[in-house]
Amino acid sequence: MARSGKKYAEARNKVDPQKKYALGDALGLVIDNAFAKFDESVDVALRLGVDPRHADQMVRGSVVLPHGTGKTTRVLVFAKGEKEKEAREAGADHVGAEDLAEKIQGGWLEFDKVIATPDMMGTVGKLGKVLGPRGMMPNPKLGTVTFDVARAVADMKAGRVDFRVDKVGIVHCSVGKVSFGRDKILDNFKVLLEMIMKLKPSGSKGTYVKGVAVSSTMGPGVRIDPSEVSSVLK
């Protein structure tokens, strides 16, 4: 059995696993307990009252965080002609068509997000087995299949995050870095939560947000009182 390190154990001992903390207190604990030598991400897990096995209860979307994620996002765009030029001017890291598809099929994956114009989906569709499992496949519902490539690239660079409920009804998403401080992380969390609330499926009955927890990349999870959700949105 794997053993946790001394620093993790010390951080874990500062968190009561049975307690549900106020949001501000929880974020403070996460920030204070971060011990890694790098700037850890702050991650949120929301347990929703949905059954993802039913298509009408799938929660999936994207949102631009006001303070970004603290990460550099490498954006690849499949486009031709004027849209290729537009993508380059918007700051895309890689732009092309069949040439990029061949590189990806050959094992090249030096990018984080993929955008495609609708006319390129015939080419991009052949990459489904590579991009799909990595969550990179362009999707019109997420705004990554679009002719407005300039805006899509700008959003990605500004800190857009995509999220999707997993098979047990939990949404996992990063809302910044420890170095952001509590206020900026709270701003990001609020915007994410507002979007998730807007996406509540009509088939979801009863309590929608059943559980919330936050953690840093290396630190222990801190549970948040679900009643805090309504106060955050006010």
The CATH number of the domain where 146 resides is what?
A: 3.40.50.790
The percent of residues in the chain predicted with pLDDT above 70, rounded, is 97
Q: Answer whether residue 103 is part of any domain.
A: yes
> Could you tell me how far CA 120 lies from the centroid of its own chain?
25
18-66 tens-digit pLDDT:
899 999 899 999 999 999 999 999 999 999 999 998 988 999 999 999 9
| Pair (169, 62) in one structural domain | yes
Give the CA-trace dihedral at 100, 103, 107, 113, to 10 degrees.
-20
- pLDDT tens, residue by residue, 116-132: 999 999 999 999 999 99
Identify the CATH number of the domain in which residue 166 sits. Answer: 3.30.190.20
* Residues 82 and 150 placed together within one structural domain of the fold: yes
Please tell me the predicted confidence (pLDDT) of residue 110: 95
| pLDDT on residue 234 | 62
| In a shared domain, residues 181 and 196 | yes
Where a domain ends, among 97, 125, 158?
Answer: 158
Q: What is the mean pLDDT of residues 134-145?
A: 91
Residue 2 has pLDDT above 60, yes or no: no
Segment 222-230 mean pLDDT = 84
pLDDT over 90, % of the chain: 76
- 221 assigned to some structural domain: yes
Residue 234 forms part of a structural domain: no
What is the average pLDDT score of the chain?
92
Nearest to 42 by CA among 57, 54, 31, 56: 31
In a domain, 6, yes or no: no
Q: What is the pLDDT of residue 205?
A: 85
Binned at pLDDT 50, 70 and 90, residue 203 comes out as confident
Q: Domain span at residue 171? A: 19-69+160-229
Mean pLDDT value of segment 87-98: 96
List of residues 6+ apart from 8 with CB closer than 8 A: 35, 218, 219, 220
Sheet of 94-96: strand order equals: 94-96, 75-78, 113-116
Nearest to 163 by CA among 193, 187, 190, 183: 193
Lowest mean pLDDT among 130-134, 139-143, 175-179, 191-195: 139-143
109 closest CA partner among 159, 145, 74: 74
- Is the model's pLDDT at 113 over the cut of 80? yes
Sequence letter at residue 7: K
Q: Does the pLDDT at position 231 exceed 80?
A: no
Looking at per-residue confidence, does 141 or 217 come out higher?
A: 217
Residue type, 179: S
**pLDDT of 5:** 82
